[in-house]
Structure 1
Amino acid sequence: MLSDQGGGIYIGQVPEPPEGWTAFFVELIFPGRTLGPTVYDYHFTTELRVVPESCPFEADFTRDRNTDLSDLMILCGVWLQDSPYYDLMPRRMGDAIVNLNDFSVFSQRWMEGNP
């Protein structure tokens, strides 16, 4: 849903689905100039967003579909280092260091995938 805030400001919000993910983007089209027989409109598109922002197995560094002791050992091995691949938080951009923020996400995923 795109809501007009006034002054040319719009906010797009999509609710989280009950399960799975939803992806969305916003495309704005403004009328452009006519150059001869052709009309050129202006198209602006936002980045793609996915909700919820959480990814399953994001802390499964070994890619064995289990977040377990072997993944914890990897996280410990890069602790307080600049390691973008293991930098889980803040989401999307990271903060350039593996620290307690990343461990917090890791702990939420602990034993994920194990029966």
Structure 2
Amino acid sequence: MDTKLSWAEAVHPDELDEEFDTFPTSRSHDVVRMRYDRLRSVAGRDTRATSLFIVFSFCSAVVLYATPPRVVALVTGLYYLRHPRFRSKLPSVPSNFFKRLPARTDSML
């Protein structure tokens, strides 16, 4: 891997401090408030992804609330245990996406 493409040298010390902070936090309330405000500003930049996530969460909550748990378990079981003739030879889109992500060993220096 080419280390010149890595952004490990450009990490701000505050981000490293946030990453290695304990749980519950050992920092002051002002530092935690600053981190929360930074997270809100980053999440507020991509309103399309945020709105899609909220709509998906709301729809799944409504479906799971209106459907008995036994029916959800039955449908899930029937989907995973379907006949091989009805299965696609290609992996699903989410599993294909996660399989193609780089491993942690690829991003280490």
The alignment's TM-score, normalised by the length of structure 2, stands at 0.23
Greater percentage in helix: 2
Higher relative contact order (CA 8 A, sep 6+): 2
- Answer 1 or 2: which has greater strand percent: 1
